[in-house]
Amino acid sequence: MANNDDKFKKVISHAKEYGYVFQSSEVYDGLSAVYDYAQNGVELKKNIRDYWWKAMVQMNDNIVGIDAAIFMHPTTWKASGHVDAFNDPLIDNKDSKKRYRADVLIEDYCAKIENKIEKEVKKAAKRFGDAFNKEEFLSTNGRVLGYQEKINTILSRMGKSLENEDLADVKALIEELEIADPLSGSKNWTDVKQFNLMFGTKLGASADSAMDLYLRPETAQGIFVNFLNVQKTGRMKIPFGIAQTGKAFRNEIVARQFIFRMREFEQMEMQFFIKPGTQAEWFKHWKEHRMKWHLSLGMGEDNYRFHDHEKLAHYADAATDIEFKFPFGFKELEGIHSRTDFDLKQHEAYSGKKLQYFDHEDNASYTPYVLETSIGLDRMFLAVFSNALQEEELENNTTRTVLKLPAVLAPVKAAILPLVRKDEALVKLSKGIIDDLKWDFSVAYDEKDAVGRRYRRQDANGTPFCITVDGESLENNTVTIRHRDTMEQQRVKIEDLKSIIKKEVDVKEWLMRM
């Protein structure tokens, strides 16, 4: 596909055309940065959630799940620091009247320098051919080193200024780098201001007695306030984890990039409660473990990288992001944070209740430290979907659009196609196959158009298998099974279909790769 912008547009239109993602309330022209998952999207999203849940909860006997409410007592957000410090630095362009996140403008500037590095790498790879060593090139080429140095200097200055709340310096940096409004090209900026991202709402009927509430901006706090309930009722011993998936809400200033940055989104989080002093070792453990989970899906090692934080959130003593190469460049997909005992201590202070763990081995009580893994389900969806969408040149000079979703995540595992739709016996046999397979897999029936067109439709839909039922099937109970990625076709017995499909789509087969 031509360039990244085109690719991203194609991703968005494909997601709509094939029933994956629709704009929310589209008949009213939509609501900015709010999206609905359609018939295929809801299945893909559920499969990603299940894949995460199985890896985190089912496979770990010391991790359990909960499902906390979206509304929480408002003091929660005082204690967590969100009321005072859950802000984004925003800047307005005086000419275009558009509002931006100051840090995002600077990061986008650095992404452009990074593109230059990638161009140098591509050029050199072409020049040196097989002898090309990327690592060596990156660490020795003068031009690349210069670019990298520039990125590091900019990001480290921005990190320090944000940490010190020196918003004037953030503006100065934007001006020094001569960053222009991407829409209008104007460099006429206002000062940088902080903006709180929480959505407020009210609980109660009468205006006087109504209580101000927030829609939770993260799922984590529902876990912290339930820490002792779960520990006691589940008789959990440290180290142990509590996992949760659910909606979170943020009034994002710059809500673009489709489902990458939404105002209502879903998180999959796990808080791991540990003994103070062991956080460095658990940080390393979860970093490695989470990366293995991503790699098990086979979406390409080169598409992931760690980005260690310079600027740490108010609660963290170490933090890293797993970044993924989206069509618009490397961006955060998952955060891994060493949150210390900040949250539990804060909830102790604000609630006046003890949130401590009694360690029988040490015969002493302590406030546990917490290691958190936090991934956006919608961002994971975008990573999977955009990486899967490919345009392939075929031998006969045609192209096919194929959605190479990891088979374990695909919404429909197999489509059953009677070769001739008017042939009652073929239709009956096809429906019989569906009735048998649907107990184990989500399957679809497709009888319209020539079989070649149906194959293309299922390719674009991401269906890993097409099963064609023809005249021979009636004679000897065999069908043709076609594989989406290789387009290979095999004649197989109907009774073997289940085991053939299972081998490719079974969660166990995929998670065993971790």
Site of interaction with ligand ATP (CB under 6 A)? 218, 250, 252, 261-262, 265, 267, 332-335, 374-376, 378-379
Q: In what helix (H) or strand (E) does residue 451 lie, and over which residues does it extend?
A: helix 451-461
CB of 309 to ligand ATP, least distance (A): 9
Nearer to ligand ATP, 12 or 236 (CB): 12
CB of 253 to ligand ATP, least distance (A): 10
Tokens of 465: 């298998």
CB of 265 to ligand ATP, least distance (A): 4
Nearer to ligand ATP, 169 or 332 (CB): 332
Question: Of the candidates 425, 415, 485, 482, which has an alpha carbon nearest to the alpha carbon of residue 449?
Answer: 415
CB of 217 to ligand ATP, least distance (A): 8
Nearer to ligand ATP, 370 or 375 (CB): 375
Q: In degrees to the nearest 10, what's the CA dihedral of 444, 384, 378, 239?
A: 110
Nearer to ligand ATP, 221 or 480 (CB): 221
CB of 339 to ligand ATP, least distance (A): 11
Q: Measured between alpha carbons, how far is 467 from 453 in angstroms, rounded to an integer? A: 14
CB of 81 to ligand ATP, least distance (A): 12
Tokens of 464: 């890993």
CB of 312 to ligand ATP, least distance (A): 11
Nearer to ligand ATP, 41 or 335 (CB): 335
CB of 401 to ligand ATP, least distance (A): 26
Nearer to ligand ATP, 304 or 465 (CB): 304
> CB within 8 A of 108, min separation 6: which ones?
182
Q: Which residues pair with 443 in a beta bridge?
A: 414
Q: DSSP code of 215?
A: B
Q: Measured between alpha carbons, how far is 162 from 312 in angstroms, rounded to an integer? A: 10
Strands 414-418 and 465-469: parallel
Q: Are 167 and 193 in contact (CB under 8 A)?
A: yes
Q: How many CB atoms lie within 10 A of CB 206?
A: 6
With left for phi above 0 and alpha for psi between -120 and 50, is residue 438 left, alpha or beta?
alpha
Question: Of the candidates 51, 11, 24, which has an alpha carbon nearest to the alpha carbon of residue 408?
Answer: 51
* CB contact burial 269-295 (16+ within 10 A = b; e otherwise): bbbbbbbeeebeebbeebbebbbebbe
Strands 304-308 and 318-326: antiparallel
Nearer to ligand ATP, 144 or 377 (CB): 377
Residue nearest to ligand ATP (CB): 376
Nearer to ligand ATP, 213 or 259 (CB): 259
CB of 267 to ligand ATP, least distance (A): 5
Tokens of 156: 């480290």
Alpha-carbon distances of 87 from 130, 203, 337, 351, 477, rounded to whole Å? 49, 24, 18, 24, 64
Tokens of 336: 């891994």
Nearer to ligand ATP, 40 or 80 (CB): 80
